Structure formats: C-alpha cells, structure tokens
Amino acid sequence: MFDSHDIVDKIISENIAKRIWVAFSGGIDSHVLLHLLATAKNSEITSIHAIHIDHGLNPDSNYWAQHCADVADDLNVDFKCVKVDVKNIETLGMEAAARTARYQALQQGMTADDVVLTAQHQHDQAETLLLQLLRGAGPKGLSAMTRRFQLGETNVVRPLLNISQADILDYAHHHKLKWIDDPSNVETRWNRNYIRHNVWPVIEQRWPSASKTLSRSAE
C-alpha cells in the first residue's frame, strides 16, 4: 500500500492555495483521496473541503449526494453539493458532456486561493493514453492527463496519477471505507468502459505491469 504521508507532503509542497477542495463523487478513488487528506496529521493542511457535483443522470443521485455529505461530516470536512445540467450528450457523448458540466461547476466560485484535487489514478492514466491512441491523437494528445492544469484562476491537481488501482483498493479496505459504485461504470457502450472491461483484462494477462508502463509513458 502507498504511503499517504508522501502524497500529502507532495500536495503541500506543490500548492500554496489557502483552500483545498477534493472533487468527491463518492466513489472509491475520491473517497480515498479525501480520507487520506482529512486524516493527515499535518499542521500545514488547515482548510479541506469536499465538493460533490450532482449530474442528475442517475435516479439515485440524491442518495449519492447525501452519502457524500455524511462521509464529509464523519471526517469533519466542509461539504458543498452543486447540481448541474448536463447538455450536448448526443453530440459530445455522455462522458465528455458530464466532464464539461463538472469542470464548469468546479470553476464557479473558485479563485487563486483555491486548489481542486481530483482522484484519477495510474489505471485511469493508462486507459486515457490507450483511448488517445485509438482516436489517432498526435504527439501532444499522447501526453494524456497532466498532473496539474489551470481552470480559470484555480489549479486542478491529480495527486494519485502514480498510484495503482490495487493500492487504492487496499487503502479503502484497510480503513474500512464505504463508497458508491456507479452502475454506469459497467456500461460497455461507452468507449472507456469497453476498454476497462473488455480490452484491459486481456492486455494485463499478457503484460501485468501495463498500467504502470503506459502511465509512465504518458508523463
């Protein structure tokens, strides 16, 4: 399992923002990120907030929002829920349309005093790189997800990009975390899910370290 102190120390060293916001979907990845920050015994972390974006695309979205609020309360973390209207699904596709709405919501009300942390991990990075290859992306596109980017006046940081999915699962089980499993994550009509469930298992049978290798190639 990874050393959570190393992750927290790196977040602190990279950011001078007064407020840390964790984009908290309620899923395992963002729950792990929120938990390790909220339980870090580090005096330099004084203002942690969780922000949940309710896309309204699932009948259980209200339950998910309440679950996130309860988790934040248990961790003594300030919580904010923002409802968004996901548009242009037909032209952009569900994943891209939801992502666009999500980042627009994250940008609202944020300033240079804020930093937003998202929980994409090593496996997500490898999937993104493979998707970019299949879409015919050029050299710039093959850089996949950056660790840090600007969103309006705010920085968005992905501190778990070098952490494996297995380590995240181990952390969650070790700390007895409870999380939401979004049923849309198993719908293979979406390209990312198709790769995750139908392509990636075959790749890892042959190359067990594929996630780590591809993720490193994307840096």
pLDDT in tens, 39-68: 986 666 778 999 999 988 788 999 999 999
Predicted local distance difference test score (pLDDT) of residue 140: 64
Length of the chain: 219
Q: What are the residue ranges spanned by the domains of the chain?
A: 4-217
Distance of CA 102 to the CA centre of its chain: 12
Predicted local distance difference test score (pLDDT) of residue 219: 65
What is the fold, at CATH topology level, of the domain defined by 4-217? Rossmann fold (3.40.50)
Q: Does residue 21 contact residue 53 with C-beta atoms inside 8 Å? A: no
- Structure tokens belonging to residue 85: 């209207």
Q: Is the pTM of this model over 0.95?
A: no
Predicted local distance difference test score (pLDDT) of residue 81: 95
Strand order in the sheet with 19-23: 78-83, 48-54, 19-23, 114-117, 154-157, 148-151
- Give the C-alpha distances (Å, rounded to integers) separating 28 from 31, 60, 89, 114, 168: 5, 17, 25, 23, 8
Report, as ranges of residue numbers, the positions in the chain whose pLDDT lies below 70.
Answer: 16, 41-44, 88-90, 94, 137-143, 218-219
